[in-house]
């Protein structure tokens, strides 16, 4: 029976656009190996300790944190207070500087639009970078339609901005500069402190989308002189649908115009009933990261090195992005002459990405690679591998073997 089905699937799946027979068989019978997940930059599994911390707030501790007249509300309010402290400790700020949101996209919108609406007495000029996440780029484009003037800085072949370009772009009417900490596609780390200091010499506000950095490397808003910082829980083993925005309260004090009207929650900056279970999960994820991220980083870096050395040394593969200033878990690889879609279709039980998860359905070259000067041909041959704390040596060895076999087979054709 299975042999007949296998023959039928094989005949039906000769076109690379409809996926491989192996993938279909996996879905039907579930007899393939356990899939290997190497797409941690898209999202992460919830840490079991995070889930355990969250569960009571769905059931017996279900109160509304804004209900101040009874114990159910007090319990929820206390849980939110503890989580706020956990987030603040991770990035070295006060708990009063943390505003909870539904995720980084909302935090980015609140930060950029909130500054633009509140500081128009100074000007309407914003500076950002061509390799930013679409949440930043699309928000800036939306503001351009409302009269904002936006400068999009270029990057070099390694994905880094030119500091002199930033200095030249600053104007007396520049109110905000938005530069991401870590690029989600290449893992490139920008010189945040240097950028912040230049921005502040112009008396402008510095915003940092730290979605891919938080919980992985040390992000100290005081040390790095960051004024606004965006966080998303699901990028570091917390739940989806919750995040936070750090808003500096002094030196300088940053004030924003709220983007949601309602009950005045979160000091009037983000109205809406607080997602107490999610907030508890975010706080717990921050606490775990503060204790464990350095040890995790060392182990994951060794695995990433093993993967890259095995693939790049023998398969005509090169790494995109600055090799030295790069997050330890990301490997953006171009497989010369092989379409990434073809390669991925032949690796149905290995979860990787062709770019950002937010744009993976768009059939066009990565805007990040394009900004770095990578050709369209090479962009279409690029895959992002992103590792996490649950990635094992055996999984990496399996990926090396399977990718090598597929690449060698495609090159022999």
Q: How far is CA 222 from its chain centroid?
A: 22
Whether 413 and 346 have beta carbons less than 8 Å apart is answered as no
Catalytic residue among 12, 13, 18, 358: 358
User: Distance between CA 208 and CA 188 in Å, rounded?
Assistant: 14
> Counting Cβ atoms within 10 Å, is residue 360 exposed (0-12), middle (13-18) or buried (19+)?
middle
Task: Tell me which DSSP letter residue 41 carries.
Answer: T
Q: Report the C-alpha gap between 49 and 31 in whole angstroms.
A: 30
For residue 253, which phi and psi values (nearest 5 degrees)? -85, 125
Tell me whether residue 384 is exposed, middle or buried, using C-beta atoms within 10 angstroms of its C-beta: 0 to 12, 13 to 18, 19 or more.
buried
Told to judge if 13 belongs to the known catalytic residues of this protein, a careful annotator would answer: no
Per-residue burial over 123-161, b if 16 or more Cβ lie within 10 Å, else e, is bbbbbbbebbbbbbbebbeebeeeebebbbbebeebbbb
Catalytic positions, written as ranges: 358
């Amino acid at each position: 029976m299975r042999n007949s089905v296998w023959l039928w699937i094989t005949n039906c799946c000769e076109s690379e656009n409809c996926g491989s027979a192996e993938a279909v068989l996996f879905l039907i019978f579930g007899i393939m190996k356990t899939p290997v997940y190497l797409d941690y930059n898209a999202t992460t599994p919830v840490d079991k300790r995070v889930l355990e911390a969250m569960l009571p707030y769905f059931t017996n501790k279900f109160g509304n944190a804004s209900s101040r007249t009874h114990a159910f509300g007090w319990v929820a309010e206390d849980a939110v207070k503890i989580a706020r402290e956990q987030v603040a400790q991770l990035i070295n700020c006060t708990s009063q500087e943390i505003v909870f949101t539904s995720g980084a996209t909302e935090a980015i919108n609140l930060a950029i639009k909130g500054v633009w609406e509140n500081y128009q007495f100074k000007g309407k000029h914003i500076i950002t970078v061509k390799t930013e996440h679409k949440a930043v780029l699309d928000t800036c484009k939306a503001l351009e339609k409302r009269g904002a003037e936006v400068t999009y800085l270029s990057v070099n072949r390694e994905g880094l901005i030119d500091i002199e370009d930033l200095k030249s772009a600053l104007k007396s009417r520049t109110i905000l500069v938005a530069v991401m900490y870590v690029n989600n596609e290449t893992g490139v780390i920008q010189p945040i402190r240097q950028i912040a200091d230049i921005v502040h010499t112009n008396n402008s506000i510095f915003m940092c989308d730290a979605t891919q950095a938080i919980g992985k490397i040390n992000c100290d808003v005081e040390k790095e002189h960051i004024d606004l910082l965006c966080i998303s829980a699901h990028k570091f083993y917390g739940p989806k649908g919750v995040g936070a925005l750090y808003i500096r309260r002094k030196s300088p004090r940053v004030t924003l115009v709220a983007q949601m009207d309602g009950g005045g929650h979160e000091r009037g900056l983000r109205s809406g009933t607080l997602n107490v279970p999610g907030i508890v999960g975010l706080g717990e994820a921050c606490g775990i990261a503060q204790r464990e991220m350095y040890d995790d980083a060392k182990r994951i870096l060794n695995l990433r090195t093993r993967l890259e050395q095995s693939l790049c040394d023998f398969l005509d593969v090169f790494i995109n992005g600055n090799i030295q200033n790069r997050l330890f878990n990301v490997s953006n690889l171009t497989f010369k002459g092989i379409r990434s879609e073809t390669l991925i279709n032949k690796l149905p039980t290995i979860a990787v990405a062709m770019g950002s998860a937010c744009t993976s359905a768009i059939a066009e070259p990565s805007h990040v690679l394009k900004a770095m000067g990578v050709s369209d041909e090479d962009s279409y041959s690029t895959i992002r591998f992103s590792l996490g704390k649950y990635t094992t040596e055996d999984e990496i060895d399996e990926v090396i073997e399977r990718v090598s076999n597929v690449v060698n087979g495609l090159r022999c054709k």
